[in-house]
């Protein structure tokens, strides 16, 4: 409740100061203005990055469905353009446009937050159709992905599952011996009088079923539906 109230006040404050709801919604209009050079003040871009990060945290922390993909694009564009202005100030004209830095920033943000390295690179190319930005995008996205992998190890999509105790395999094919524990398919029971019943009258397949449920440390298979 308080988080959403704070978010509303934040959006209203930005509108009153900047004259536009820059941090509200998906922010595609603001991203377009960054790429077209309309928003070119690096200090304002840095403030937009910080405010969008705060707005995203308030939204997700309050339980609202805000998503992370579009905010990642927004923050990546703002921070990438800011970094481009910094490079121009330090090294002069590098022959690279601010828009290219913004696109590389978006790819880096998506790659780092979601862990989708190849997807981030492909999206950056689809947005521009310009091979001149590919090298910058590759460097930014790979650096972001590697940094996140070393520092955190999990993407924003998997870290919640891991905190809840779920196993999230990273391979292309799920390894069931890692995704499911023995305790998920076994139950305690006495196997002294156990007998094998392949199919019961209700159409269920049983493994070893205990006839006597006396306390014991031995294990028997749980009944599983077909």
Q: What is the pLDDT along the chain (226 residues), one digit of tens a residue?
A: 676 777 778 777 877 777 777 787 778 888 888 888 888 888 989 988 988 888 888 887 777 777 788 888 889 999 999 999 999 888 888 888 888 899 999 999 999 888 888 888 888 888 777 777 888 899 999 999 999 888 887 777 777 777 777 766 665 555 555 556 666 666 666 555 555 445 455 545 454 444 444 444 444 444 444 4
Q: Please state the separation of Cα 213 from the chain's center in Å.
A: 46
How many other β-carbons are positioned within 10 Å of the β-carbon of residue 83? Answer: 20
Three-state DSSP string of 51-66: HHHHHHHHHHHCCCCC
Nearest-CA neighbor of 111 among 159, 71, 146, 160? 146
Using the 8-state DSSP alphabet, how is residue 20 labeled?
S
* pLDDT at 210 (0 to 100): 41
* pLDDT at 52 (0 to 100): 87
- The DSSP bridge partners found for residue 188 are 219
* pLDDT at 117 (0 to 100): 87
Architecture of domain 2-163: Orthogonal Bundle (1.10)
* pLDDT at 130 (0 to 100): 74
* pLDDT at 208 (0 to 100): 42
* pLDDT at 86 (0 to 100): 92
How far is residue 83's CA from residue 99's CA, in Å, rounded to a whole number? 11
> In this structure, which long-range contacts are made by residues 210-219, counting pairs with CB atoms below 8 Å and at least 24 apart in sequence?
213/189, 214/190, 215/188, 215/190, 216/188, 216/189, 216/190, 216/191, 217/188, 218/188, 218/189, 218/190, 218/191, 219/186, 219/187, 219/188, 219/189, 219/191
* pLDDT at 222 (0 to 100): 46
Q: Where are the domains of the chain?
A: 2-163, 181-221
How far is residue 81's CA from residue 74's CA, in Å, rounded to a whole number? 11
């Amino acid at each position: 409740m308080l988080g959403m109230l704070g978010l509303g006040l934040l959006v209203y404050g930005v509108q009153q100061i900047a004259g536009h709801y820059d941090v509200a919604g998906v922010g595609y209009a603001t991203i377009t203005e960054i790429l077209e050079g309309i928003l070119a003040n690096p200090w304002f871009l840095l403030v937009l990055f910080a405010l969008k990060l705060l707005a995203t945290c308030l939204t997700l922390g309050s339980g609202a469905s805000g998503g992370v993909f579009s905010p990642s694009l927004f923050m990546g564009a703002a921070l990438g353009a800011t970094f481009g202005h910094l490079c121009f100030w330090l090294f002069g004209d590098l022959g690279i446009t601010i828009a290219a830095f913004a696109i590389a920033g978006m790819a880096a943000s998506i790659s780092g937050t979601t862990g989708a390295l190849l997807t981030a690179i492909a999206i950056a190319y689809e947005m521009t159709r310009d091979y001149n930005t590919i090298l910058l995008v590759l460097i930014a996205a790979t650096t972001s992905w590697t940094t996140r992998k070393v520092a955190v190890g999990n993407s924003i999509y998997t870290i919640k599952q891991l905190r809840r105790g779920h196993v999230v395999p990273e391979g292309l094919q799920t390894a069931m011996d890692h995704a499911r524990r023995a305790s998920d398919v076994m139950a305690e029971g006495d196997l002294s009088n156990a007998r094998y019943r392949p199919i019961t009258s209700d159409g269920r397949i049983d493994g070893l079923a205990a006839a006597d449920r006396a306390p014991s440390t031995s294990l028997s298979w749980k009944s599983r539906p077909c």
